Amino acid sequence: MGINDAVAFAGHRIHVCRQREASTLLRWLGPDLAGQVVLDVAGGDGYWAGEARKRGARAVSLDLARAKMVRGARLSSAPGLLEGDALRLPLRDASVDAVMSVCAIEHFADGPAALDEMARVLKPSGRLVMSADCLSRRGEWPHLFEAHRRRYHVRRTYTHETLGGLLAERGLTVREHTYQFRSRLAERTYLTLSAHGGRFGFNAAAPLIPLVALSDRGAPDDRGSIVLVHARKDG
């Protein structure tokens, strides 16, 4: 593993939520993506699109942050890197087999418009796997949520119901969903790490991953800090 891969691994995998979150989305896509075009919307340096490439996909990561893409181009499994806006995807209609998006839509100025674009570029029967901030108990700790919202420029939060409704309007049917950081304690931990630790806090808290996963297994799968959905475009 080269230095660029090691830095990316540390940033994306040694992380209290991102590793489990993105790995779930990739698991939903499946282990064999040979020949499929996979688009990661707002994919940053393209690390997770690169993981799809390792499974055989013709993977593309789209983002507006050129500096992140410059770093991503140095990865040993770098995907195609495309500078572009999630609200105006520079791709043809029905040209993509699968769309992936990891906790991005909550930052967009117009989340529904981004979903319009994701639906437009998907082929019939194409799949969409995505995650978003939910923070279902944010009203209990408004000061923590406000700090999180400001730090990460969160414009809107989503539940599986709101995402399901928006996707249905665009011809996609949710097949499965799940939440992470489901319990009250886990949600407060997530918001506290975000409000007071930021990205470094999420990385430093990586040893908590097994405890959070165990806590999630014991809590109802109907609320949490992060919602993940797997949908398919009507064929």
Q: Give the predicted TM-score (pTM) of the model.
A: 0.95
When the pLDDT of each residue in the chain is averaged and rounded to a whole number, the result is 94
Considering the domain boundaries, does residue 215 fall inside one?
no
Burial class (CB in 10 A: 0-12, 13-18, 19+), 92: exposed
**Range of the structural domain that residue 91 is part of:** 3-137+156-184+222-233
Considering the domain boundaries, does residue 194 fall inside one?
no
In this prediction, residue 44 has a pLDDT band, given cuts at 50, 70 and 90, of very high
Considering the domain boundaries, does residue 18 fall inside one?
yes
Q: Letter for the amino acid at 179?
A: Y
Domain count across the chain: 1
Considering the domain boundaries, does residue 31 fall inside one?
yes
For residue 16, the model assigns a pLDDT of 86
Considering the domain boundaries, does residue 204 fall inside one?
no
Considering the domain boundaries, does residue 200 fall inside one?
no
With tokens 């989305």, the residue in question is 25
Tens digit of each residue's pLDDT (9 = 90 or more) over 150-178: 999 999 999 999 999 999 999 999 999 99
User: Can you read off the two tokens belonging to residue 78?
Assistant: 């770098």
| pLDDT reading at 202 higher than 90 | no
Q: What value, to the nearest 5°, has the Cα angle with vertex 71 and ends 69 and 74?
A: 110
Considering the domain boundaries, does residue 199 fall inside one?
no
Considering the domain boundaries, does residue 115 fall inside one?
yes
For residue 151, the model assigns a pLDDT of 93
Q: Say which CATH number the domain at 35 has.
A: 3.40.50.150
For residue 201, the model assigns a pLDDT of 81
| pLDDT reading at 7 higher than 90 | no
In this prediction, residue 75 has a pLDDT band, given cuts at 50, 70 and 90, of very high
For residue 134, the model assigns a pLDDT of 98
Tens digit of each residue's pLDDT (9 = 90 or more) over 111-164: 999 999 999 999 999 999 999 999 999 999 999 999 999 999 999 999 999 999
